[in-house]
A and B are shown apart, each in its own frame.
Chain A
Amino acid sequence: MKSAKKITVALIGNPNSGKTTIFNMLTGARQHVGNYPGVTVEKFQGVCRYKDFEMHIVDLPGTYSLTAYSPEELIARNYIIDEHPDVVVQVVDASHIERSLYLTMQLIEIDAPLVLAFNMSDIARQKGLVFDTDKLSTLLEAPIVQTVGSKNKGKQELLDMAASVSQKPKTRRIHTVTYGDEIQRQLEVIEDLLKSKEPQLSEKYTAHWLAVKLLENDTEIAAKISDKSVHDTVNSAVAHLKSLFKDEPEIILADRRYGFISGACQETIKTTAEARHNLSDTIDTFVIHRILGLPIFLILMYIVFSLTFRLGKYPMDWLESSFAWLGTAIGDVWPADSMLWLQSLLVDGVIAGVGGVIVFLPNILLLFLAIAFLEDTGYMARAAFVADRIMHKIGLHGKSFIPMLIGFGCSVPAIMAARILENKRNRLTTIMVIPLMSCGAKLTIYMLIIPAFFVDTILLDAGIITIRTQALMLWLIYLIGIVIAVICAKLLRGTLFKGESIPFVMELPPYRMPTLKSLTIHMWQRAWLYLKKAGTIILAISIILWFAASYPRVSADSLEDLPVEQAQQTQLEYSVIGRFGKFIEPLIKPLGFDWKIGTALIGATAAKEVFVSQMGIIYAVGDTSTDTHTLRSTLKNTYTPLTGFCIMLFCLIYAPCFATLAATRMETNTWRWPIFQFFALTLIAYFLTLLTYQFGRLLL
């Protein structure tokens, strides 16, 4: 058998061009997600075997051009100019040809081995567009294949073409964009100078492309060139062109490229039907309506959350009982009296800790599925648009709203979702305040505290609306989180992350019905990242916490006469965590907390749910999951409602859980921000709780 020829195929295209559907079509489920080194842009790779080729397919980030404006664009560009893929397939939305060809022009300019996939050609046909692909292909000097990614159409042809282009020797292009005599002359001067002064760079990237980029004032390229005379020549050329055209050179260059494109389009594309008011426009008249937009958005979000939690409840219960069963089963089969510490580590540490995270997986999967659905239909862009008005007031971007919303489910995917923000300052601000959104784990604390201290009386009964104390408390604590987040975001944007807010510019893609395949792939990729990252960290933390709560051991003799619960408590007091709790007691006393709450708070830095189980152990009421009622009455008899409220307030704000900190580390690529997040939030929590407790004591 012949060994397969390995070739790399890079997929590039505008956002919403259906690039991902083409990628899924070519690679199926054999995909691999990673990160580009140094940045948090996801790198999707897959392998496709075709005839005697083994094609390594790289899905580059969606981009409109090859400038150096956003990290995505830079990654796409650097991949093509530095890694030299054997074939570059540009996925073109056939119903938006003109704009897509702008990227094509730039790919031609860097002389990429190009294949054009005219995707969604069925929609283009419906719109009445007829292409003379042969002629257009001759003009662009690149083969064109018509595809419909969502229906698997055009796969063979595309693979055939990619294979043949990869084997073809490079030829000189005949047509390139002509920028007009005046610009051409300036370009030639710069090119000649580059060839003599920077021969290596000119060889690598072609002098022509470098010259064009320098005229466009591309900072990334300018930084590569050390020779001063080149910069001087470029500057005088820019000044000359500016005085001549009364415009920046990059605008003139863009103008010429579009000129070439519209010329090519006029010759090769015919419209048989008049463009009419389409369905997307009709939907948009409601969805982005000035007044209706926000309520529609809120209703959709409510549906997402209630589906996530309602449908997720069943598999969550099954998982919970299976983990409980597993724990008991291990206890049952464990040989008596041998290595009991290992049994405890497995059951109380690993299974309780890791299992505690995995039970949230159904919720996470559903949430991701809903988000994938909103994204793939095109609604997410509208949501960002609707939220922009509000977010703008606190110095954030409309797009920040999406990660903050996800934060009500879990901070980890929320912080990962902050990637959609191009601007680093906006992204960092958003990441910093996400933990203030009350997540699912914090909800367990609220559910323990609220019924324990607040009697559920009806405060207001107005027919359809009844306001009850407990619901009001819950609403209040969520609201406090949001208000603090807003204040923090505003403060951060005014100090640490100062700088002009990046202007909001975002395409609103036409609405589309997503395919089940793309939704599943989308959902699974994210869920897998969550499982892997959160799982490994949680495992490590669970083991550490278990040791801290179990050692040093009290000698067995002194515990002999005590009942099980008291023995547990004595042991806890003696352990590292217990000692630490006692140690910080003077510090947390002004907040209304004793050492017992202190140890629970320390444990809860690993995962907020730990607070509930830790309090259970401390108050020695045995299995807390089945008997929170007893724990509640113990709490009620021990603490005041004010302390109860202070516990919720403190838990809402203080140190994000380890998984969140790890996610922040991953997304910001430095330990500085998670450390800052940890201390800043803990300080805010401390002072707010201090104020609340001290004032509360005076008033109540």
Chain B
Amino acid sequence: MINTALKPLSVIKSGATVKVARIDAGKGLNAKLASMGLFPHVKIKVVNNGHPGPFVIAVKDSKVALGRGMANKIIVCDV
């Protein structure tokens, strides 16, 4: 059975690849994130879960740093 349970990106371990399910951000921010390649259905890889600090992910070939708060707002599921 495929595990499709939803969880915030912040709990994902470094090195894991997950799929974005939804992003609970404001409207403007949603569009900005989309323009950086970060939007639902996209696969992302957690490069560095810098717990308790910020977070680095790889999306579409580029590395993006996210604050902890942001990583909590991105809801992901297993690929």
Contact = CB atoms under 8 A, between A and B. Distances in A.
A65 B35 contact: yes
Contact of B65 (A96, A219, A247, A385): A385
Contact of B29 (A247, A384, A503, A506): A503
A492 interface: no
Contacts of A103: 35
B50 A69 contact: no
B36 A255 contact: no
Interface of B: 22, 25, 27-37, 39-42, 47-48, 50-54, 56, 60-70, 73
Interface string A444-466: 00000000000000000000000
Given A102-B35, A258-B39, A505-B65, 6 more contacts: A67-B32, A102-B34, A254-B35, A389-B52, A389-B53, A503-B73
Nearest to A503: B70
Contacts of B50: 288, 290, 389
A528 B63 CA distance: 34
How extensive is the interface on chain A, given as a class? 35 or more
A65 B37 CA distance: 11
Contact of B27 (A217, A501, A504): A217
A102 B32 contact: no
Interface in A9-58: none
Contact of A96 (B61, B66, B67, B68): B61
17 contacts: A64-B35, A217-B27, A250-B31, A254-B39, A258-B39, A258-B42, A284-B47, A288-B48, A288-B65, A385-B56, A388-B54, A503-B66, A503-B69, A503-B73, A505-B64, A507-B65, A508-B64
Contacts of B28: 67-69, 219
A561 B49 CA distance: 78
Interface of A: 64-65, 67-70, 95-96, 98-99, 102-103, 216-217, 219, 247-248, 250-251, 254-255, 258, 280-281, 284, 288, 290, 381, 384-386, 388-389, 392, 398, 501, 503-510
A187 B51 CA distance: 44
Nearest to B23: A251
B62 A96 contact: yes
Greatest chain B CB density within 10 A among A254, A384, A392 is at: A254
Given A504-B65, A508-B65, A99 B60 contact: yes
A99 B36 contact: yes
Contacts of B27: 217, 248, 250
Nearest to B51: A290
Nearest to B41: A255
A381 B61 contact: no
A290 B53 contact: yes
